[in-house]
């Protein structure tokens, strides 16, 4: 008499834990994004120093994230997540403490902010890397898991600034930094206590050809901790270089991220000032876009796995991209601007669930940390420069030409990408976890590095 093999029981705890930790830490970060610049501006009166704080956080965020992919794969994302959040909590907590003691010169503040940014990079990476395994354990489609992750990020981006603004107004900017430190500490505890040990260290495809049993490492790919650091780094780079779809995605998102950064940090504030709508219009348009993005992400989490990815993805970009720039350039009344931003937010809610599912399906789990780190860092590389370029071009030619040119560039970038044949792959491997054995040439290439 034989007994059928029984797979592991369904467990929602890892997915809930990853999402809860992300929600807490992201909300704290968004609160701090209001509190710290206001603190610097209020104490120094310098817009340049205020900009340096943002630069000091985002530059190490991008650089360290790019380099820590092999460490995430070697140590495991659970360990990396809770330890980096713990270090971030200490660094953020030192800021109000040193300020209260009168021991916080501007240079030391920049150092603390740089430490937080350097820790946030691998911490955010590690949480993202655990999403596909958490989806496997919960037995939910990847689009649903990545959609819920998108909802978490959108909610944090919508609620965090509102909470931060209110907290700064009532209790001062250092209160927001304290909240950020507490959020990092709570996020660290959630990951350490809610997720099983070894989460993410080894993971096999859950479905599709070539799927193996739980905890298996795919043939032809070095498992977690396999080889030295630079060999692991080269394996991730070689795999990414051999993936035309992922490269096209990274280039497209890199350009749109640069344009979005300039739009949010320079173009919208200048428009609000020039149009006479004032700072309230910035909050109104941002809230409209954020709330609609949450709604779009919730719908995507529920139904995106049934929709054609390519068509939905580029429809989302069509709504989320160029119209925002062009409506500001048109001189339309505020209610029209708010409506366009809301539609843009709704469209943007469908983007990240599809992007996340494509990434997780195409990259073998043992390489996920390395490839994700490189891809994210390249896609984010233009963000620190977006505001600088937008400010310089507005000073040179004026707001309206920059808005029109940016909107056209956004449309051309996403439209031209949609015509490339690589994007057809978005639907071809739908629902399949990457099976390296199916593609021996590509699997062998990283191993030779």
Tens digit of each residue's pLDDT (9 = 90 or more) over 378-419: 887 887 777 778 878 888 888 899 999 999 999 998 877 666
Q: Which two tokens stand for residue 409?
A: 């560039």
- CA pair distance 150, 294, nearest whole angstrom: 8
Check: CB of residue 264 under 8 Å from CB of residue 391.
no
Query: Can you tell me the mean pLDDT for 65-76?
Result: 84
Check: CB of residue 82 under 8 Å from CB of residue 25.
no
Question: How far is the CA of 270 from the CAs of 278, 364, 399, in angstroms?
Answer: 9, 45, 8
* Residue among 172, 134, 149, 210 nearest 25 (CA): 149
DSSP letter string, 281-320? HHHHHHHHHHHHHHHHHHHHHHHGGGS-HHHHHHHHHHHH
Higher pLDDT, 244 or 64: 64
* Residue among 419, 418, 417, 406 nearest 322 (CA): 406
Query: Can you tell me the mean pLDDT for 366-373?
Result: 79
Q: Which helix (H) or strand (E) holds 139?
A: none
pLDDT attached to residue 95: 93
In this prediction, residue 429 has a pLDDT band, given cuts at 50, 70 and 90, of low
Output DSSP code: residue 221: S
Whether the predicted pLDDT of 173 surpasses 80: yes
In this prediction, residue 222 has a pLDDT band, given cuts at 50, 70 and 90, of very low
- CA pair distance 126, 181, nearest whole angstrom: 19
In this prediction, residue 420 has a pLDDT band, given cuts at 50, 70 and 90, of low
The proportion of the chain whose per-residue pLDDT surpasses 70, expressed as a percent, equals: 82
- CA pair distance 230, 228, nearest whole angstrom: 6
Domains of the chain: 12-143+156-202 (1.20.1250), 227-449 (1.20.1250.20)
Whether the predicted pLDDT of 435 surpasses 80: no
Query: Can you tell me the mean pLDDT for 191-195?
Result: 89
List all residues 6 or more positions away from 260 whose beta carbon is below 8 Å from its beta carbon.
386
Whether the predicted pLDDT of 250 surpasses 80: yes
Mean pLDDT score of the chain, rounded to an integer? 78
Whether the predicted pLDDT of 335 surpasses 80: yes
- CA pair distance 174, 100, nearest whole angstrom: 9
Q: Which of 93-102, 200-209, 360-369 has the lowest mean pLDDT?
A: 200-209
- CA pair distance 134, 15, nearest whole angstrom: 5
- CA pair distance 311, 299, nearest whole angstrom: 16
Whether the predicted pLDDT of 439 surpasses 50: no
- CA pair distance 124, 292, nearest whole angstrom: 24
In this prediction, residue 200 has a pLDDT band, given cuts at 50, 70 and 90, of low
Higher pLDDT, 119 or 227: 119
pLDDT attached to residue 217: 40
Burial class (CB in 10 A: 0-12, 13-18, 19+), 205: buried
Whether the predicted pLDDT of 211 surpasses 50: no
Q: Which of 198-207, 335-344, 358-367 has the lowest mean pLDDT?
A: 198-207
pLDDT attached to residue 344: 92
Q: Which of 6-10, 253-257, 430-434 has the lowest mean pLDDT?
A: 430-434
pLDDT attached to residue 444: 31
Helix (H), strand (E), coil (C) string for 100-116? HCCCCCHHHHHHHHHHH
DSSP 3-state of 269: helix
Q: Which helix (H) or strand (E) holds 381?
A: none
Tens digit of each residue's pLDDT (9 = 90 or more) over 72-110: 888 888 999 999 999 999 999 999 999 999 898 999 999
Query: Can you tell me the mean pLDDT for 30-49?
Result: 75
Query: For the chain, what is the total number of helices (H) and then of strands (E)?
Result: 21, 0
């Amino acid at each position: 008499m034989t007994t059928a093999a029984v797979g592991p029981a369904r467990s929602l705890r890892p997915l809930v834990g990853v999402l809860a930790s992300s929600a807490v830490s992201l909300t704290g970060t968004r609160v701090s994004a209001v509190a710290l610049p206001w603190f610097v501006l209020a104490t120094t009166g310098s817009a340049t120093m205020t900009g340096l704080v943002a630069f000091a956080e985002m530059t190490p965020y991008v650089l360290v994230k790019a380099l820590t992919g092999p460490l995430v794969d070697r140590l495991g994302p659970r360990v990396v997540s809770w330890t980096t959040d713990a270090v971030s909590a200490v660094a953020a907590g030192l800021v109000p403490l040193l300020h209260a003691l009168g021991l916080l010169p501007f240079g030391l503040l920049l150092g603390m902010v740089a430490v937080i940014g350097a820790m946030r990079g691998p911490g955010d990476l590690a949480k993202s890397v655990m999403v596909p395994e958490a989806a496997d354990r919960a037995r939910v489609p990847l689009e649903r898991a990545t959609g819920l992750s998108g909802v978490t990020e959108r909610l944090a981006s919508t609620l965090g600034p509102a909470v931060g603004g209110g907290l700064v107004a009532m209790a001062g900017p250092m209160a927001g930094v304290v909240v950020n430190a507490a959020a990092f500490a709570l996020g660290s505890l959630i990951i350490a206590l809610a997720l099983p040990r070894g989460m993410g260290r080894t993971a096999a495809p859950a479905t599709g050809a070539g799927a193996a049993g739980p905890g298996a490492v795919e043939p032809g790919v070095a498992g977690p901790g396999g080889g030295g650091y630079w060999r692991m780094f080269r394996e991730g780079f070689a795999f990414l270089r051999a993936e035309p779809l992922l490269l096209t995605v990274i280039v497209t998102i890199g350009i749109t991220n640069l344009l979005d950064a300039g739009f949010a940090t320079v173009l919208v504030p200048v428009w609000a000032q020039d149009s006479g709508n004032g700072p309230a219009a910035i909050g109104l348009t941002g809230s409209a876009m954020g709330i609609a993005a949450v709604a779009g992400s919730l719908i995507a989490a529920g139904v995106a796995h049934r929709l054609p990815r390519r068509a939905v993805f580029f429809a989302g970009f069509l709504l989320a991209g160029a119209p925002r720039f062009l409506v500001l350039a048109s001189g339309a009344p505020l209610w029209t601007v708010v409506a366009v931003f809301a539609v843009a937010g709704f469209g943007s809610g469908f983007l990240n669930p599809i992007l996340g599912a494509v990434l997780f399906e195409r990259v073998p789990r043992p390489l996920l940390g390395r490839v994700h780190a490189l891809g994210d860092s390249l896609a984010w590389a233009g963000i620190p420069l977006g505001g600088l370029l937008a400010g310089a071009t507005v000073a040179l030619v004026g707001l309206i030409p920059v808005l029109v040119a940016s909107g056209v560039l956004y449309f051309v970038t996403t439209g031209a990408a949609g015509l490339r044949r690589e994007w057809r792959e978005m639907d071809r491997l739908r629902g399949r976890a990457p099976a390296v054995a199916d593609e021996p040439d590509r699997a062998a290439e990283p191993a030779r590095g």
